[in-house]
Structure 1
Amino acid sequence: MTFRPADLAPAGLQRVCASGRLAVVRKDGRTAVETLYQEGAAKIRMPLTETGTPEAVLINTAGGLTGGDVVDWRIEAGEGTSLVLTTQACEKIYRAASGRAEASVRLSVASGARVAWLPQESIVFDRSAFRRRLFVDLAEGAEALILEATIFGRLAMGECVGRAEFRDCWRVRQEGRLIHGEDFAAGPDLSAMLAGRAATGGAVAMATLLLVSPRAADRLDEVRAVIGDADGASAWRVGRTGKLLARLVAPDGYGLRKRLVPLVDLLNGRAGLPKTWSI
């Protein structure tokens, strides 16, 4: 029987509709907030940092997402700015009574600016349905560090994801030119798909990390030393910039984070690891 979230329960339940906007500009030699807008369950907090790079913590006060919920984040980094974006906690994708949960992120990065998109892991539950979309527009000379990590059930909690639908879409452009695009689709028999050797070989934790920078290739050896032989990383020259792509898989979330933490700390420069990651 094909799993369709819409068949599980009648619609009509209250749904999350959350939207957050943040724009930063260069002012008096530092990055400053120009616009901060939050609606519904979307909240943005900016704790004090000692690195000189502002850090924005994106929060979904609903405590998770289920079918029919929609969250939308839009970030603009002005010329010469630097910004780190993360989440308060792991986003939980719960069983869908109807429809699917959707999360979209749009990053606009001006010339000479750098943005790090470093959310904590998304935790996917059994019989959930989720679509995640990431759109990044980089101007000439802009740089970005982008991470998405997903855990299909927490083994320590006795969770097992058998059937679910998961979609992940990335589109990264620089000067209007597509420099990175990918689409990942899994489900409805998610556990069987992940068990394949061409997928994760049964591992339930995975992450993709992308660095867009003219100096991306210079970090390749360091990245490979951090992630080890079990994972892969490659670097390319793309137009007037470069990109480094790393993919990681692990048997569980703990094993994944053990490699993600030093990897993010390595590639995020002086800003280092986001505060919420170390709690």
Structure 2
Amino acid sequence: MSIEPAIDPGLKSQRVRARGALCVTRRAGRTRIQRMFQEGAAKIRLPQGEDPLQAVLINTAGGLTGGDSLEWAFEVGDDASAILTTQACERAYRSAAGTATVSTSIAVGAGGRVCWLPQETILFDGSALRRRLEVDLAPDAEGLFLEATIFGRTAMGEVVRRAEFRDRWRVRQSGRLVHAEDFAIGPMIADRLGRRAVTLGGAAVATVLLVAPEAPERLEAARAIMGEDGGASAWQVGDTGKLLARLCCKDGYHLRKRLVALLELLNERAGLPKVWSL
């Protein structure tokens, strides 16, 4: 006769509470680390000899579920340049209770440039995730920003039927709001994605934003790369420019192909982070 182990009803599941922060400055002709902090499952690795400086972010918990919290904070000093990416795709797993949160804040000084290029976030059936991006750019700073989301890996036969997902962006330059958006979908994900005004069944989406004086000049080339899988617009915003592109593909494989070409166009000085090709 088997005996089931007793379960303490007051026992709570372990939750991820992770924070990482990095501050870089320009010294002796190169971007260098000034301060770095990491706590819990948040780790930052910096490949040597890179300029612009590349920071690879790692969540050692292997993914997120309800109640988990992951926070990143970055400062790029005057005339410094940094590319921020992730070691792998982030994963939001089924949540028994609560919502996982990922918050990123970025500040860029005068003449600085930042590229926020995390790899895709994969949502699993039953997941609950809130993602937030807050950016403050100095008057002549530049930035390239990406967030990509995959609603289940179609190659693995995964279908996200029910989930909750929220994505919030706030990008300011000289204290002026130059881009804001709030995306919300759920709980009936599959039903919503099937609508023509959403993705018409596409399981992979991405938003790319370039804030730089030359942004409007890249518009036609960006549209050519995206083809029928997305659209782009560009504006003059004060003394700088803004290009906003949105991609919608049937799966993560086709999204990655479009993204690689688009990001190489918009980040021609430095191309893509090396981890994207691993």
Alpha-carbon deviation of 1:11?
A: 7.7
TM-score (norm 1): 0.95
Post-superposition Cα deviations, 1:209-268, rounded to whole Å, max 9, x if no partner, equal: 000011100111111111113310110011121100000010000010010011111111
Structure-1 residue corresponding to 2:68:
69
Structure-2 residue corresponding to 1:18:
18
Q: Which amino acid aligns with 2:46?
A: M
Q: Which amino acid aligns with 1:149?
A: A
Q: Which amino acid aligns with 2:197?
A: A
Structure-1 residue corresponding to 2:204:
205
Distance 2:130 2:11 in 1: 19
User: Does residue 39 of structure 2 align to residue 39 of structure 1?
Assistant: yes
Alpha-carbon deviation of 1:10?
A: 8.6
Q: Which amino acid aligns with 2:44?
A: I
Larger deviation: 10-19 or 188-197? 10-19
Q: Which amino acid aligns with 2:17?
A: C
Alpha-carbon deviation of 1:49?
A: 4.7
SS at the partner of 1:227?
helix
Indicate if the aligned counterparts of 1:49 and 1:55 stay in contact, CA closer than 8 A. Answer: no
Distance 1:270 1:44 in 2: 23
Q: Which amino acid aligns with 2:249?
A: A
> Where in structure 1 do 4 or more consecutive aligned residues deviate above 4 Å?
none
Distance 1:31 1:49 in 2: 10
Q: Which amino acid aligns with 2:139?
A: E
Q: Which aligned pairs between 1:1-279 and structure 2 lie closer than 5 A?
A: 12-49=12-49, 52-279=51-278
Indicate if the aligned counterparts of 1:25 and 1:32 stay in contact, CA closer than 8 A. Answer: yes
Query: Structure 1's 96 and 228: CA in aligned 2 closer, same or farther, altered over 3 A?
Result: same
Indicate if the aligned counterparts of 1:11 and 1:97 stay in contact, CA closer than 8 A. Answer: no
Report the number of matched residues: 270
CA-atom RMSD, angstroms?
1.2
Structure-2 residue corresponding to 1:6:
none
Distance 1:10 1:23 in 2: 41
Percent of counterpart pairs with the same letter? 61
Q: Which amino acid aligns with 1:43?
A: K
Q: Which amino acid aligns with 1:114?
A: R
Distance 1:269 1:40 in 2: 35
Which structure would you say has the larger RCO, counting Cα contacts within 8 Å and 6 or more residues apart?
1
Alpha-carbon deviation of 1:48?
A: 2.8
Q: Which amino acid aligns with 1:89?
A: A
Structure 2 unpaired stretches of 5+: 1-8
Q: Which amino acid aligns with 2:132?
A: R
SS at the partner of 1:55?
strand
Q: Which amino acid aligns with 1:33?
A: I
Distance 2:277 2:162 in 1: 32
Alpha-carbon deviation of 1:33?
A: 0.3
SS at the partner of 1:270?
coil
SS at the partner of 2:228?
coil
Distance 2:68 2:171 in 1: 25
Structure-1 residue corresponding to 2:3:
none
Distance 2:206 2:17 in 1: 26
Indicate if the aligned counterparts of 1:10 and 1:97 stay in contact, CA closer than 8 A. Answer: no
Distance 1:188 1:254 in 2: 25
Distance 1:244 1:74 in 2: 24
Query: Structure 1's 244 and 162: CA in aligned 2 closer, same or farther, altered over 3 A?
Result: same
Query: Structure 1's 11 and 154: CA in aligned 2 closer, same or farther, altered over 3 A?
Result: farther
Post-superposition Cα deviations, 1:125-182, rounded to whole Å, max 9, x if no partner, equal: 0010000000000011000000000000001111110000000000000000101000
Structure 1 unpaired stretches of 5+: 1-8
Structure-2 residue corresponding to 1:3:
none
Query: Structure 1's 206 and 11: CA in aligned 2 closer, same or farther, altered over 3 A?
Result: farther
Post-superposition Cα deviations, 1:28-60, rounded to whole Å, max 9, x if no partner, equal: 11101000100000000011355x211000000
Distance 2:140 2:49 in 1: 25
SS at the partner of 2:259?
helix
Q: Which amino acid aligns with 1:36?
A: M
Query: Structure 1's 262 and 40: CA in aligned 2 closer, same or farther, altered over 3 A?
Result: same
